[in-house]
Structure 1
Amino acid sequence: MAFLKADTPLDVLKHLLLIGVVGLLLVLGFFYVYLPMSTHHGETITVPKVTGMNVADLENYLEERNLAYFVDDSSYSPNIRPLTVLVQDPAPGEKVKEGRKIYLQVSMKNPPVIKMPKLTGGTSKNAMLILKSYDLSVGQIQLVPDLAQNEVLKQLVNGKEIVPGAPIAKGTKVDLVVGDGEGNQTFAVPNLVNMPEDEAITLLVGQGLQKGEVFELPAEDGQVPGTVVRQRPVPGPDATIRMGQLVDIWIAK
């Protein structure tokens, strides 16, 4: 107890020195002994690659490596097996502490349900782009007689029409009924020979036909310049044509 007495200034200095040494030992012990023991300082684990694995196989696989996982996101792809790991964080090869959770994005078991987009009234090419943007598949494309060339007339799922806004699962195949631009009404080929060019074209349009190529020929005896002298297809008792088809004409010049 004599050491603890502070009768002289030297004794006070000894006591202060002792307190400083004890305090330093406590600080060093806390940072270099206690913390490393409690936090496993310096002990790290290399994150394994788990993308492509099924979630059902992860628990034992990661537990053996003193790691855990948490599924925090999911997405759907018809070509990937359900519950397959798509993305992981941290990435493979990173160093982490024991017990660290690996956050995962996995493929969904059931496809999400969305609203069917409107495809009718637009072109078949535009419909395909819309289906792709909605993660829907293009099924069969059926051409039917109609003057609306390449226009989507109906949208079908499993043979039944589906209206815009109806629920539909992503990945579903959607069939398209598309106009062929010709129509199905047939009639006799009109005779345009000897008609003025403008009248012949007006007649074609009025009958639902289209002007094709226009050729010029030198006018022969008896032919009036500016009139039709030949046409294709040629008119005749048994010659028929369908709405939307082209008619070529030759004009006398």
Structure 2
Amino acid sequence: MKISTNSRTDLFVHISLVVALVVALFLGFFFLYLPFTTNHGQSITVPDLSGMSVEQLEDYLDERNLRYEVADCTFVVGAKPLSVIRQHPKSGMRVKEGRKIYIYITSLNAPDVKMPQLEDRTLSSAEGELARLGLQRGKIIYVPDLAHNSVRRQLYNGSPIQPGTLVPQGSKIDLEVGNGIGNTEFDVPNVVGSTLEDALFVIKGSNLAKPLIQYVDDASQPPGTVVRQNPEAGAGNKIRVGETIDLWVVGTNEPQPEQQQNE
């Protein structure tokens, strides 16, 4: 093909034709070819995949012209194994057809963790340590012990478990905890007929809890005299360290000087 350029006008015409052709090709590529090949303007709302199993995902996303890829796998206590716990992009976002959805799923098996030392810790401290390691607190079993809410033993599947033993994450650990009452029994002390001051001294010396005091009228006894107690002394009645004796005292419910000193 021969293009004649006998004049300056012919040259300008030819240059204009070349420029127009280049512009037409440029516009056709970006506004016709690319949109056609990339489905420009066609978008899909990302569905919520939370809780779905991996087995369900492929068909579910294929029906919506989407794909998926597992980005990470982690263990979650109480969650169904191999189920979606997080995704990117998030549900509700608009994406192009064929977009890959990155999913985060729960692992099939729980990793092992070392059993911590919980004995002699407070109950709240033990619960915090279990949560930090991904273990669950099981039953709380109260046992006679003066150390109130102090862990006395740690149990796994009903048996004591030593610190450092490997257990699956998510396992339930039962705790034996002191109830604040000792296991030693002795005869109930007799404080009937004593002054409140003497009764409180005896009770404190016996490692018993602070008594519940009720005031009563009794003209035959001087104010501040203990006229009744529960449990009663004698008849083989026993009491344990940390337990309580209730007292009935002559007078009003205003604190007596002896009681103030002992409090």
TM-score range, shorter chain: 0.7 to 0.9
Shift of residue 118 of structure 1? 5.2
- Root-mean-square deviation (CA, aligned residues, Å) is 3.2
Q: 5+ unaligned residues in a row in structure 1: which ranges? A: none
Partner deviation per Cα, 1:15-64 (whole Å, 9 max, x = no partner): 33222212222212221333234433344445455443321343355446
Contact kept in structure 1, 2:213 and 2:248, CA below 8 Å? yes
Query: What is the match of residue 237 of structure 2?
Result: 239
CA deviations 1:187-228 (Å, max 9, x no partner) are 11112234333332122122121231223345655x555443
Cα 1:30–1:214 shift into 2, 3 Å? same
Q: 5 Å matches for 1:157-236?
A: 157-163=156-162, 166-217=165-216, 220-221=219-220, 223=221, 225-236=223-234
Whole-angstrom distance in 1 between the partners of 2:142 and 2:158: 15
Q: Which residue of 1 aligns with 2:246?
A: 248
* Partner deviation per Cα, 1:45-92 (whole Å, 9 max, x = no partner): 454554433213433554465432111133434543311123333345
**1:21 alignment partner, SS class:** helix
Q: CA deviation at 1:175?
A: 0.8
Matched residues in 1 for 2:29 and 2:186: separation?
101
Q: In the TM superposition, what is the alpha-carbon distance from 1:237 to its structure 2 partner?
A: 4.2
Corresponding residue for residue 135 of structure 2: 136
Fraction of identical pairs, as percent: 42
Residue range with higher mean Cα deviation, 148-157 or 61-70: 61-70
In structure 2, relative to structure 1, the CA distance for the partners of 1:95 and 1:239 (3 Å cut) is: closer
| 2:106 corresponding residue in structure 1 | 107
Kindly indicate whether the alpha-carbon contact (under 8 Å) linking 2:61 and 2:67 is maintained by their aligned counterparts in 1: yes
Q: Secondary structure at the match of 2:14?
A: helix
Q: CA deviation at 1:132?
A: 5.2
Rounded to whole Å, the distance in 1 between the matches of 2:86 and 2:122 is 37
TM-score under structure 1 normalisation?
0.79
Give the AA of the match of 2:249.
Answer: I
- Summarize the Cα distance change of 1:150–1:93 in structure 2 as closer, same or farther, 3 Å threshold: closer
* Corresponding residue for residue 22 of structure 1: 21
Runs of 4+ aligned residues of structure 1 deviating over 6 Å after TM superposition are none
Moved more, 102-111 or 42-51: 42-51
Shift of residue 154 of structure 1? 1.6
